[in-house]
Amino acid sequence: MPRYVIERRFEDGLAIPATPEGATACLNVVDRIAEHGVHWVTSYVSDDKRSTYCVYDGPNAEALRAAGRDTDLPIERITKVSVLDPHFHH
Amino acid sequence: MPPTALLERDEQLRSLRSRLTQAASGSGAMVLVGGEAGIGKSALVRRFCEDAARTARVLIGGCDAMQTPRPLGPLLDMAPGLGPPLTTLLGDESARQRAFEHLLDAFRARATVAVFEDVHWADDATLDLLRFLGRRLDATRGLVVATYRREELGPRHHPLKAVLGDLASVTSVTRMSVPPLSRDAVAHLAAGIDADPDELHRLTAGNPFFVTEVVAAGGDRLPTSVSDAVGARVGRLPDAARDALQAASVIGLTVEPSLLTALGHSVDAIEACLIGGLFVEHEGRLAFRHQLARDAIHDTLSAPRRRALHAAALATLERAPGAGTDRATLAHHAAEAGDADGVLRHAPTAARKAAALGAHREAHAQFARALPYLDRLPDDEHTELLAAYAYECEVVDRHPEARDAWRSAIERWRAAGERERWADAHTDLARVLFHLGDNASAESASARAIEVLEGLQAGAPLVRAYQYRAALRMLERDPEAAITWGTRTIELATAAGDHRTLAGAHVTVASSLMLAGRPSYAPHFERAIALAEAHGLHVLHANAHLNRGSGAGELHRFDEAEHHLRQAVAIAEQHDLDSQTSYALAWLALTRLYRGDWDEAAALTGRSLVRSSTSTITRIMALAALGRLRVRRGDPEAWPPLDEALELALRTGALQRLAPVRAARAEAAWFDGDLDRVRSEAAACFELAAQARHPWFVGELAYWRSLAGDLDALPAFAAEPFALQVQGRHSDAAAAWATLGCPFEAARALGESLDERHVRDAFDAFTRLGARVAADRARAHLRERGAKRIPRGPRERTKRHPAGLTPREAQVLARLVDGLSNADIAARHRVSPRTVEHQVSAVLSKLGVDSRTAAIAEAHRRGLIDPT
């Protein structure tokens, strides 16, 4: 399945508390997006908590957008990516 | 179910109960309960129903895990609880709609809980029923609870997903998820056995069925899977009981006790299964405690054992008195038993019955079952079945199979010297070849049919062949020839009283008149629809709407297009006409794309492209929509669909495929900043479009050529909005696009203006649409011109308006509410009426309405009217 990076912008900052509620919120996202065949790999959050760079596996950009809509997560830009690993040697 | 405690489901039960209270007071609802197998969906719903039965009528129906499930199986289960009218209505398809209405009446009369279990296995008619109920429950006293396994939906296409999608926006439809048990709950269930709760929780992932099976299995070693656990329980039963379980597992989730005894299983053996907890009794039937238990037992059967058990079930059911068992079930057992004669005895009958009921997917599957064994039949029967199979393949959008089957049938009729059948089948073959994008072969098959049938002085088949020639001329965008052939066909078919061919000819003539720009087309469509309705010609009925919808779309008349495409989808879905559904969805995607509803356009392309066997012409249109959508959103992978679309369109060589694909590719190249490519794509089929004098194809291609500096002269017949753009009349073009309801095209025209205010409006519109690249370009444009305060996102004030209106648009709305005309507003605001027209369109589209009256009502409803 192809991999994508989604850039998201949160004008009011992203707040996911490190509590059971926060964990549930994340699991709910995982659950909802699974119905679109989308799998959340990992996310990077900027220090000001206003931008995130999220890595997803999914069938296509349309599925990622539908998943974003279902979970109320904004999308600035979707980029298809592949892995470049600094530790890869021949 | 054994009386195990229902753990950690209080929240779900509370929610279901409150839904029932609301339903009882007249606000019905549907709850879709999703979760993995064994997570306790049924246990939850059963517990809820036990309580509900005290205040409401409770109906329960289940779907079967069969390749070809019983049409409306769950409703058949519920029918006894609803009295005789429903039972009789379920007998024939023409009454299906009335059966649905009857159920709704029952919900109005009395508080009712209707449970549809395991709808991930539902047949198409049941899915239609859910869709029907979901949209109409709110004014009834019904609560519909449907359970489904989420993991069965997966990333691939699943018909239930389409239903979930369709119902997503209905407020009375909610989803509920049944989560895994916590570690503590697992520990509680496993209190009786010596197992580490953490280990057990990890192993079972909190799946209650798995946990209870592990507990029941006992033993020193923890079973590592559900089937392991079930296997351990079965291992403790006597051999005779195990045999009974195996026999039951090939029949289904539930089985009549009398069938098991007829199969030679003793009452003792059945009793042992009940005592051992593998069976439970449910309304006089024996049921596996859970589908997972049935699967676990079924999966341990060796292939020969499975075949033998199916053979025994078939033999016993065939001997049963009366015509109790339906053909689909008998055909299923025969197929699983590998019993060729049994399959030939039941599958074709089941197929014809399903086709007559409008269940074409089931019909196709049953014919396909018989296919490997047709050699055993007499020649003529063999060929007739092949042709019937070919027809069903075409209807369910499996055109490659349809082509191969027609070719075999044609070859067999040739060998048998059946000249007329042989020639007649060429008309069918031509139709399939056209769908496969092989226009040249379609032409020659059609010509051959006519040549031979004329020689034979054939009657009906010859008129049919003329009708298809007319249709081909229309499809090749040669409307004048199509009208000539079609008119002749109308005379002949009228004289012969051939309704089917007559209706088809009216559709062809109507479409041709429409494409030729003549207003007299509508009565022909209406005549075709009246004929189709009067004679139950579903395919033609859908086709009339489909041709009118796609023709209007090609002419950028999107209101008319959308209305008829939605009608086509409704008819085609109701009758399993997948080929027509897919094509209508592809065109609907294009329509929604132009109208600026990109989320729906995306969902529609997805639904249209689900099958790999989807016909070529459908793929071309859906891929063109998908490519343009990705280009406009700035999403990755815009070129692969456009490359595939071009490859397929080139194969057809037809203008109606090549022009939209070339135009979409020119647009993609434009966003890539590759002017050479814009030029070559737009020039590639310009001549073909100009020869056909097609205003819209020529208009768009001329527009791209002009942007690439490659247009010598604008043809006079080019469509107005594109012509205005080419002439540099940007705001007039924008107004024209706005009138057509095309917000992206309107913004694009405005963005080409030299007026900074226009470019800012374009930027706002692009941002609203999610047209990232176009918005970025508009911003860069403003920056280059030294505009001050370049916006980052939609302007702050825009953001603050609850409906996203700009301050100017909010003023326009206020004037509309005051009852002012465009001319009045223009005078008041000191702008041109054209500008006001554009602003009014923007207001309408932001409010999601399509008339001024609706906008005023919406403004009142949403409190958007500024008291100042």
- Contacts A34 to B, Cβ<8 Å: 150
The pLDDT tens digits of the residues spanning B64-110 come to: 776 667 778 888 888 888 877 776 776 666 667 788 888 888 999 89
Q: Do the chains contact at A61 and B633, CB–CB below 8 Å?
A: yes
The closest CB to that of B772, out of A37, A77, A80, belongs to A77
Contacts with A77 from chain B: Cβ below 8 Å: 634, 772
Distance from CA of B767 to the nearest CA of A (A): 11
Distance CA(B479)–CA(B820), nearest Å, equals: 44
Q: Round to whole Å and give the CA distance between B757 and B341.
A: 77
pLDDT for B867 beyond 50: no
> In chain B, where are the structural domains located?
10-179, 185-337, 379-595, 804-868
How close B566 gets to chain A, by Cα (Å)?
22
Residue with more model confidence, B67 or B18? B18
Q: Residue B445, Cβ neighbours under 10 Å: how many? A: 27
Residue A88 counted as domain residue? no
Residue A86 lies in a domain: no
Chain A partners of B177 at a C-beta cutoff of 8 Å? 31
The pLDDT of residue B797 is above 50: no
A21 at the B interface (CB within 8 A)? no
With beta carbons less than 8 A apart as the criterion, state whether B108 and B25 touch: no
Rounded to 10 degrees, what is the CA torsion of B834, B838, B843, B845?
140
Predicted confidence (pLDDT) per residue in B624-640, tens digit: 999 999 999 999 999 99
Check B629 against A62: CB less than 8 A apart: yes
Instruction: Supply the DSSP symbol for B851.
Output: S
Give the confidence band of B323 by pLDDT, cuts at 50, 70, 90: low
Q: Which tokens in the block code for residue B706?
A: 């002009």
How many CB pairs below 8 A link A and B?
Answer: 43
Q: Per-residue pLDDT averaged across B792-810, rounded?
A: 62
Please tell me which residue of chain A has the smallest CA distance to B598: A62
Asked whether residue B247 carries a pLDDT value surpassing 90, the answer given is yes
Instruction: Nearest by CB to B636, from A31, A61, A69: name it.
Output: A61
CA distance B73 to B62: 7
Residue B195 to residue B193: CA distance in whole angstroms: 6
**What are the DSSP calls for B653-719, one per residue?**
T-HHHHHHHHHHHHHHHHHHT-HHHHHHHHHHTHHHHHHTT-HHHHHHHHHHHHHTT--S---TTS-
> Which of the four pLDDT bands, split at 50, 70 and 90, describes residue B1?
very low
Return the residue of B nearest to A3 by Cα.
B636
Write the pLDDT tens digit of every residue in B157-208.
Answer: 678 887 887 787 778 888 888 888 888 888 888 887 777 888 888 878 888 8
Instruction: Decide if A58 is inside a domain.
Output: yes
Give contacts of A36 with chain B, Cβ < 8 Å: 155
pLDDT in tens, B665-723: 999 999 999 999 999 999 999 999 999 999 999 999 999 999 999 998 999 999 999 99
CB-based contact B665:B642 (threshold 8 Å): yes
pLDDT tens per residue, range B333-391: 999 999 999 999 999 999 998 888 778 888 999 999 999 999 999 999 999 999 999 99
Which CATH fold would you assign to the domain B379-595? Answer: 1.25.40
B154/A37 CB distance under 8 A: yes
Give yes or no for residue B868 having a pLDDT over 80: no
**Residue whose C-alpha is closest to residue B576's, from B434, B366, B782:** B366
Relative to beta strand B254-255, strand B285-288 is antiparallel
Contact call for A62 and B605, based on CB within 8 A: yes
Among the partner-chain residues B155, B599, B634, the one whose CB lies closest to the CB of A59 is B155
Q: Is A35 on the interface with B (CB under 8 A)?
A: yes
**What is residue A89's predicted lDDT score, i.e. its pLDDT?**
54
Buried b (16+ CB within 10 A) or exposed e, B387-423: bbbbbbbbbbbbbebbbebbbbbbebbeeeebebbbb
| Residues 6 or more apart in contact with residue B281 via CB below 8 angstroms | B274, B287
- The answer to whether A24 contacts chain B (CB < 8 Å) is no
Rg over alpha carbons for chain A, rounded to the nearest Å, is: 14
Q: Are B575 and B597 in contact (CB under 8 A)?
A: no
- pLDDT confidence of B866, banded at 50, 70, 90? low
- At residue B795, does pLDDT exceed 50? no
Across the range B818-841, mean pLDDT stands at 78
The nearest CA of chain A is from the CA of B635 a distance in Å of 6
The count of domains in chain A is: 1
**ipTM given for this complex:** 0.90
According to DSSP, residue B25 is labeled: T
**Average of per-residue pLDDT across B247-265:** 91
Residues of A in contact with B633 (CB under 8 A): 61, 65
Q: How far is A17 from chain B (nearest CA, A)?
A: 21
Indicate the residue of A35, A63, A79 with minimum beta-carbon distance to B636: A79
Find the farthest-apart pair of alpha carbons in chain A and give their distance in angstroms, rounded.
46
In this complex, do B599 and A77 lie within 8 Å of one another by their Cβ atoms?
Answer: no
Asked if pLDDT for residue B467 goes beyond 90, the answer is: yes
Rounded CA-CA distance A55/B477 in Å is: 47
Write out chain B residues lying below 8 Å of A12, CB-based.
Answer: none
- Residue A5, helix vs strand vs coil: strand
Mean pLDDT of all residues belonging to chain B: 88
**CATH 1.10.10.10 is the classification of domain B804-868:** yes
**Which residue, chain included where needed, has tokens 């702008």?**
B831
Report the alpha-carbon distance of residue B493 to residue B444 in Å, rounded.
Answer: 23
Mutate to test the interface with B, among A65, A79, A81 (most CBs of B within 10 A): A65
Report which listed range, B147-156, B160-169, B208-217, B390-399, is most confident.
B390-399
- Domain for residue A89, yes or no? no
Which strands form B112-117's sheet, in the order they lie side by side?
B57-62, B112-117, B142-149, B29-35, B173-177
Summarised one tens digit per residue, pLDDT across range A45-88 is 999 889 999 999 999 999 999 998 888 888 999 999 987 777 76
Residues of A in contact with B161 (CB under 8 A): 35
What are B's interface residues with A at a Cβ cutoff of 8 A? 150, 153-156, 161, 164, 177, 599, 602-603, 605-606, 626, 629-630, 633-637, 772
Q: Which of A1, A61, A66 has its CB closest to that of B635?
A: A61
Q: Which residue from A37, A52, A56 is spatially nearest to B636, judged by alpha carbons? A: A56
In Å, how far is B36's CA from the nearest CA of chain A?
Answer: 11
Find chain A residues with C-beta within 8 A of B635's C-beta. Answer: 61-62, 65, 78
Cα–Cα nearest to B512, from B469, B549, B482, B532: B482
Calculate mean pLDDT across residues B140-156: 83
- Looking up residue A74, the CATH number of its domain turns out to be 3.30.70.3090
pLDDT of amino acid B94: 62
Which residues, other chains included, contact A45 with Cβ-Cβ below 8 Å and sequence gap of 6+? A14, A51, A52
Chain A residues in contact with B156 (beta carbon < 8 A): 37
Would the pLDDT of B422 be above 70? yes
Looking at chain A from residue 49 to 88, which residues have their Cβ under 8 Å from any Cβ of chain B?
A: 59-63, 65-66, 69, 76-80
Which residues in A lie closer than 8 A to residue B602 (C-beta atoms)?
A: 62, 65-66
Host domain of residue A34: 3-81
Q: What percent of chain B has pLDDT over 90?
A: 58
pLDDT of B658 over the 70 cut: yes
Residue scoring higher pLDDT (B802 or B577): B577
Question: How far, in Å, CA of B554 to CA of B474, rounded?
Answer: 13
DSSP tag of B67: S
Look at B599 and A4 and tell me if their CB atoms are within 8 Å.
no
Q: Which fold has domain B10-179?
A: Rossmann fold (3.40.50)
For the cut 80, the answer to whether the pLDDT of residue B16 exceeds it is: yes
> Token pair for residue B24?
């009882």
Residues of chain B with Cβ-Cβ distance to A62 below 8 Å are 602-603, 605-606, 626, 629, 635
- Is A9 inside a domain boundary? yes
For residue A79, give the DSSP letter. Answer: E
What is residue B91's predicted lDDT score, i.e. its pLDDT? 62
Q: Which residues contact B582 (CB under 8 A, 6 or more apart)?
A: B397, B607, B608, B609, B610, B611, B614, B615, B618, B622
Position B798 pLDDT exceeds 50 = no
Instruction: Give percent of chain B with pLDDT exceeding 70.
Output: 94
Torsion angles phi and psi, residue B96, rounded to 5: -60, -45
Chain B residues touching residue A79 (CB < 8 angstroms): 636
